Amino acid sequence: MYIRNTAVIVLTAVIISTLYNTFSGRGIPWFPQKVEVKGAGGIARPQLIVTAAPMKYIEVAEARAKYERGIAFIDSREDHEYEAGHIRGARHIAAAHSPEDIRKSLGAIPKDQEIVIYCDGEECGASTTLATKLQSLGFTNVQIFFGGWTEWKKAGLPTSRGSKPVSS
């Protein structure tokens, strides 16, 4: 009886954690990953490689430069987090959405257009999850703002609050 109850509890925990990991947008990616550090001008930058195509991590200074050039930013956090505050002008597409919903949200954006994805910061996996989904949809120039919303706010860069310009 004791072993059976333990097995039921363990199985329930595995099922719940698997569902959370898959659908929360904050889970650990299921695909094998390799992180390489490549230096450019003496500055080391992590680069995430998922399957065959690399995704580049950028830091706040580079994110700011891209923002000022008008590069598209996508907030991959949940609706309530986006509405509480986000990078001014960022589109919102929650990482937990299906590839079909993501494709609809992006409309006619060319697949080679530069896109910067962010979430809450270093501890948040939603940006990696969304980037992986975008890559599977054929987007080839996806970058992840590693510091995300946390670093953007700390730097005092432009922010907005409230409803989203693009439905999630």
Taking the domains of the chain in order of start, what are their residue ranges? 2-160
Asked if 163 and 83 touch (Cβ cutoff 8 Å), the reply is yes
Top pLDDT among 134 and 1 is at 134
Is the confidence at residue 54, as pLDDT, over 90? no
- Pick the closest to residue 119 from 57, 36, 50, 44 (CA basis): 57
pLDDT of residue 99: 87
pLDDT digits (tens, 9 = 90+) for 92-146: 999 999 888 998 988 888 999 999 999 987 778 889 889 989 988 889 899 999 8
Q: In whole angstroms, give the CA distance from residue 58 to residue 44.
A: 11
pLDDT above 70 coverage of the chain, percent: 77
CA distances from 114 to 3, 4, 18, 87, 139 (A): 54, 53, 32, 17, 9
Q: For domain 2-160, which architecture applies? A: 3-Layer(aba) Sandwich (3.40)
Q: What is the pTM of this model?
A: 0.67
